[in-house]
Amino acid sequence: MSNPASVSSFLRTGKLGPLELGCSHAVVHTLLGAPEAVGRGTAKTSIERHAGGRLELTFSKAGVLVLIALFPFRGTELERLPLVDPLPPEVQRSPAEFEQWLKREGIAFDVVDPDDESYAVRLHTGVTATFEQGSLYTLQCT
């Protein structure tokens, strides 16, 4: 069973295909299958990794999805949640290009960490894009 996911939609809504904050373990496991790895986030959270770490999902102690993190350059393709519209390559290599793309797409944002080593853009939808050494590192919704 495959549930296509749109990166553009994730940026606009915070939903990655059928995955959204508040989903239960059961719903996520029905959609994605069992995780490849499970780790402890904090005393109150656990982290599940899928597709070689391309997708990390953080759950509360009650089993509710509280964070969706997509790492575009890590792991393998998500077989049960294929990405139908990855970001253009130039957008992934430059925070300035990413900001220009967001403006063209009409997605509101604020720059929250304009550092030389790291750079973060917080979208008004709750998604944060982080850049490490000038390249896109993660897209995450909390």
Range of the domain at 121: 89-141
- Do 65 and 34 lie in a common domain? yes
- Do 63 and 15 lie in a common domain? yes
Q: What pLDDT does 63 receive? A: 94
- Do 29 and 64 lie in a common domain? yes
Domain count, the chain: 2
Residue 81 lies in a domain: no
Q: What pLDDT does 65 receive? A: 97
Q: What pLDDT does 102 receive? A: 94
Q: Which residues pair with 40 in a beta bridge?
A: 46
Residue 84 lies in a domain: no
Q: Coil, helix or strand for 133? A: coil
Residue 78 lies in a domain: no
Its pTM stands at: 0.90
Which ranges of the chain have pLDDT less than 50?
A: none
Buried b (16+ CB within 10 A) or exposed e, 98-133: bbebbeeeebebeeeeeeeeebbbbbebebbbbbee
